Amino acid sequence: MLLSKVQVRNFRGFESIDVELDPLTVLIGENNSGKTSFLEAIRLCLSRNIARRGSPLDDYDYHLSTAAAQPQDAHPLSITLDFLAPDDLPDEVIQTLGDIRVFDGEGRGHVLLRLNSAFDEGLKDFVSDWAFLDCEENSLPPKTKRPQVLAAFLQLKPVFFLSALRDAAREFAGRSTFWAPFMRHTGIPQELREKLAAELAALNDEVLKAHEPLQAIKTHLAKCRDILSSGKAGVVDIEALPGRVSDLLARAQVSISAQTGAKLPLTRHGSGTQSLSVLFLFEAFLATMLTEQYDEYSEPMLTLEEPEAHLHPSAIRSLWSALEAIPGQKLVATHSGDLLARVPVARIRRFARREGKVHVFRVSPATLSAEEQRKIDFHVRSSRGDLFFARCWLLVEGESEYWALSELAILMDLDLDRLGIRIVNHKNSGVEPLVKLANALGIEWFLLADGDAAGKQDEVICSAHLQGRQAQRHIRVLDHANIEVMLCEAGFGDVFKSHISQQKANTITLGEGDAGYWDQVLRALDRTPKPQVIREVMDRVQQGGLDSAPESLREALQAAKALADGQS
């Protein structure tokens, strides 16, 4: 069964969201945008606590819509999980589901589970309840409310949570969820256990015989017999080695070879190694112990925060394949552009706050054509996964614009990273796929277009994707054919001319002021890297003051800032 949709109403920072899920879904968004709360909502609904007396929620799980709001004034809370339950499920699973498996208008099977909670004025307390629903979201008959019906369903869909703070010392301890079942496993035959116990006892004797200080301790501790007057031999013994196989397993620890080849305990390795080890311990648990702890037909769900924690970028890029290999459904929250570089855009869900409310965005299957998808994959996703974390994309046509705006932003004291603005060169991918992608993911965009024919065509394309917004807030076309000509006419032409050799200078036949003069100057430039020329121009801007910079560039940066800030 796949959890296909989650509906959340008035839970923590969510007023109302509906999120569709894939077998592996990746959640992105700024800090406090609701990713962890969303995972917690799922965990709450799939927890056995919802069937127990008393509310599984606390006061601050209810949505507080204003600064002065109190939990008891909050609107009723509900979390609804919609599972697909197709006909090809094993017969045993279909029988277990029984009456809670319902069908939509197209004959597809579903299981809908809802957790409700609200403040009861009569009881002066919060009251929570759960129910299975039909496809019209009406509660099913009372017989589906039996605790054993819920328990049987929860056995089929266990949920596990791995937080960003994965502590190897805790996760590999004797009472941990994933490590302890391996240590308690009784799969060793009785005859073999007895044989191993005898060998351990013999080996223990050998160790004691070879270790004189331990023999001395044993002799002195034997005086306990006199004081206790037990009169029994062997009251005092020393176990240098555990005497039983179960005791031996209880003391097991993981060691990993260091670069020198020396075996070191896992907890002596770096944070990245420890974090990954916890993840793969979970994978081993699913592969080996799941059916012993849950139902034979259980389909687990893993909710995982920041799998990239403490990992090198190269390791992060390799992590995606490992996540795909873990059985069951996965929900992954990440802040890593390197991980997102491997994630198909259709699997991304972007959480963002707009006008005080959390919204969730996704790229629907019809958003991009196959060719547009290819361009996004090749030119953006494969190399710049960090773009998906931006609040606003400042779309430009070439390298000169990228460097000019980057340098000018510094002079204007605009921290583009802090503001959530990314300058995106659309030359290779084309502007339309990027605008479609930004709209789908709820990312604002601003186009700075050249004044030539190609730039005006980009203006037409972007105007078709404004979705009711004002063009002047999202599009600016330069008054010049390109940014280099604009900078030359703004008084920085001598910077460009300083990079022309004497031989190339002879190719300039027009005089300054003639139409086409600056075009000839730019064609005569030597192979000086554009960033170097632009940096020299910005040095001149710094000397002459910001007013000397072209107004179009300054306005583009301010427009992007306003969009990133959510200003209307």
User: Six-digit token pair at 226?
Assistant: 């006199």
Residue 411's nearest CA partner among 560, 557, 563, 533 is 557
Q: What is the mean pLDDT of residues 274-303?
A: 83
Give the structural domain span for 137.
Answer: 2-168+290-340
Could you report the per-residue pLDDT of 380-389, keeping only the tens digit for each? Answer: 766 678 899 9
Any domain includes 393: yes
pLDDT on residue 256: 79
Residue 494 confidence class, pLDDT cut points 50, 70, 90 = very high
Residue 186 confidence class, pLDDT cut points 50, 70, 90 = low
| Higher pLDDT among residues 464 and 309, named by residue | 464
Any domain includes 359: no
Q: What is the mean pLDDT of residues 254-282?
A: 78
Residue 235 confidence class, pLDDT cut points 50, 70, 90 = low
Tally of CB atoms within 10 A around 109: 19
* Same domain as 143, residue 16: yes
pLDDT on residue 60: 87
pLDDT on residue 355: 83
Residue 313 confidence class, pLDDT cut points 50, 70, 90 = confident
Any domain includes 263: no
Across the chain, mean pLDDT equals 88
**CA pair distance 44, 50, nearest whole angstrom:** 7
pLDDT on residue 152: 93
* Same domain as 552, residue 420: yes
* Same domain as 407, residue 317: no
* Same domain as 518, residue 431: yes
Q: What is the pTM of this model?
A: 0.85
Tally of structural domains, the chain: 3
Any domain includes 82: yes
Q: What is the mean pLDDT of residues 24-50?
A: 93
* Same domain as 429, residue 411: yes
On the question of pLDDT at 208 being above 70, the answer is yes
Any domain includes 267: no
pLDDT on residue 155: 92
Any domain includes 279: no
Q: Out of 234-238, 289-293, 296-300, which region has the weakest mean confidence (pLDDT)?
A: 234-238
Tell me the CA distances in angstroms from 323 to 36, 172, 178, 328, one per residue in order.
19, 20, 17, 10
* Same domain as 231, residue 104: no
* Same domain as 219, residue 184: yes
Q: What is the mean pLDDT of residues 50-76?
A: 86
Any domain includes 258: no
pLDDT on residue 568: 54
pLDDT on residue 349: 97
pLDDT on residue 540: 94
pLDDT on residue 225: 65
Q: Out of 253-262, 423-432, 496-505, which region has the weakest mean confidence (pLDDT)?
A: 253-262
User: Six-digit token pair at 50?
Assistant: 């919802």
pLDDT on residue 551: 95
Residue type at position 438: A
**CA pair distance 49, 431, nearest whole angstrom:** 50
Evaluate whether 202 touches 217 at the Cβ level (below 8 Å): no
Residue 323's nearest CA partner among 347, 296, 292 is 347
The full length of the chain comes to: 568
pLDDT on residue 185: 67
**CA pair distance 542, 550, nearest whole angstrom:** 13
On the question of pLDDT at 127 being above 80, the answer is yes
* Same domain as 183, residue 202: yes
Could you report the per-residue pLDDT of 328-372, keeping only the tens digit for each? Answer: 999 999 999 888 888 889 999 999 998 889 999 999 989 999 999
Evaluate whether 328 touches 339 at the Cβ level (below 8 Å): no
* Same domain as 397, residue 376: yes
Q: Name every residue whose Cβ is closer than 8 Å to that of residue 523 and which is 6 or more positions away in sequence.
A: 507
- What are the DSSP calls for 32-84, one per residue? TSSHHHHHHHHHHHTSGGGGSSS-S--GGGB---STT--GGGSPPEEEEEEEE
Residue 411 confidence class, pLDDT cut points 50, 70, 90 = very high
pLDDT on residue 233: 53
- What are the DSSP calls for 248-262, one per residue? HHHT---EEE-TTS-
For residue 200, what is the enclosing H or E element?
Answer: helix 190-210
Q: What is the mean pLDDT of residues 63-89?
A: 92
pLDDT on residue 193: 80
Any domain includes 355: no
CATH number assigned to the domain comprising residue 148: 3.40.50
* Same domain as 179, residue 161: no
Q: HSE, CB side, 13 Å, CA atoms: give it for residue 400.
A: 19
* Same domain as 322, residue 303: yes
> Whose structure tokens read 């391996």?
182
* Same domain as 220, residue 195: yes
